[in-house]
Amino acid sequence: MSKYEVSKTVEAVKLNKRTGAPLGEPPISLPFGAIIDKLEEAGDFYTFTYMAERYRMRQDNVRGALHPIGAPASSSVPKPAAEVGKAEPPPPPLVFEKLQSASAVSRAKVPGGWLVIHGTGIAFVPDAGHEWDGASLP
């Protein structure tokens, strides 16, 4: 059975050893780097073993956060049956627009601001609202 590493802190609920039902205890936080095994899909949840105890966690809370031990970082837990065969949309392209300038300067909108390039240099300009129109200040 494969073992998986958790790449972010996630919450899990302890299960009854005999029945597999949740015990009603408060959820525990699995720390970053926790090793789990016996991972199984159960509806909207994954059930697994951690520190010799059975737990479950919601699949949507851990999407992309489980990686097989010894596999490349790009590997992750198999997709739920409902998603098998669905093509993931490609990430949006990084689109640079040229600014009116005496030299070649371009910018691209990124979360929290702009990436600005000039020749081989690159800088991040904070602008959470993307209000900068590309012009210099007077």
Average of per-residue pLDDT across 22-36: 89
Binning pLDDT at 50, 70 and 90, where does residue 133 land? confident
- Please give the pLDDT value at position 79: 57
> In the chain, what are the domain boundaries?
3-81, 96-126
The lowest-confidence range among 34-38, 60-64, 66-70, 87-91 is: 87-91
- Please give the pLDDT value at position 55: 93
86-131: pLDDT as tens digits: 677 777 788 889 998 888 999 999 888 999 999 889 999 999 888 9
75-85: pLDDT as tens digits: 555 555 555 56
Q: What predicted TM-score, i.e. pTM, was given to this entire model? A: 0.51
Domain 3-81, CATH: 2.30.30
The residue among 121, 115, 119 whose CA lies nearest residue 132 is 115
- Please give the pLDDT value at position 74: 54
Percent of the chain with pLDDT over 70: 86
